[in-house]
Amino acid sequence: MSVASGLIAPGLRAEFPGLRLYWIALDARPRASPPDLRRRLGELSDRYRGAGVVAMRTQPIPHAYRAFFRQVGVDPDAARIPSEEAAVRRLIQGGFESRDTLQDALLIALVETGVPVGALDRRSVDVGSLEIRLAVAGDRLGGAGGGSPLTAGQLIVADASRVHATLFGSPAPEHAPGPRTRRLVLFAVAVDGVPAIHAEEALWLAADVLTAG
């Protein structure tokens, strides 16, 4: 396994020079989380207290994502960045909830690095053309054959033939990993102020959880 770089549409590269897409492909599938993985989430939960969550926004990685949200016209206090959303959810729930190995792996990567990681079923992705671009008229989440219509100008993760997700959003249901998945594509979005090593670490952390045992 090796981390590869996705594409950034030329106009976006000029407007957001720090915007980057990284991905990794691996043989893995979602399954029930073993006890040691649930324990690991419990230990991560213990790191988060109310004061620490409030202070997150001053840390370099969360601050970088908050700044990017503002750049694209999103108020990060109304629509939280992924790491803050996870932290607030932990406070409300009283801990990080274990769901399955995939969702737990993505959560661990996010909590440990601050970098959001998404997952797609490898069968749905042309990794050679995977990119971040702006949606155009007629784009639909999941592809032309179905899915909800997208607003022109939305930031999306797509390949040459399909739209897989809005940026920082959930993947199209038909592209998300499921019971028949045997191979995954994990992808991480970095912005200005987020070193490449953090994005790569997020992918490796998620991959390690998914391939353990």
Summarised one tens digit per residue, pLDDT across range 57-96 is 789 999 999 999 999 999 998 999 999 999 888 888 888 9
**Domains in the chain, please, with CATH?**
4-211 (3.50.40.10)
Q: CB under 8 Å to 79, separation ≥6 — which residues?
A: 69
DSSP E strands in 1-95: the ranges are 4-5, 7-8, 20-27
pLDDT at 52: 63
The predicted pLDDT at position 58 comes to: 80
Average pLDDT along the chain: 92
- Whether the per-residue pLDDT at 105 is higher than 80: the answer is yes
Residue in the structure block whose two tokens are 């213990």: 46
Give the pLDDT mean for 159-175: 94
pLDDT value of position 50? 61
Q: How confident is the model at residue 171 (pLDDT cuts 50, 70, 90)?
A: very high
Which pTM was predicted? Answer: 0.94
d(CA 69, CA 49): 24
pLDDT in tens, 183-211: 999 999 999 999 999 999 999 999 999 99
Q: How far apart are CA 90 and CA 92, in angstroms?
A: 6
d(CA 48, CA 61): 16
Which of 29, 22, 6 minimizes the C-alpha distance to 183? 29
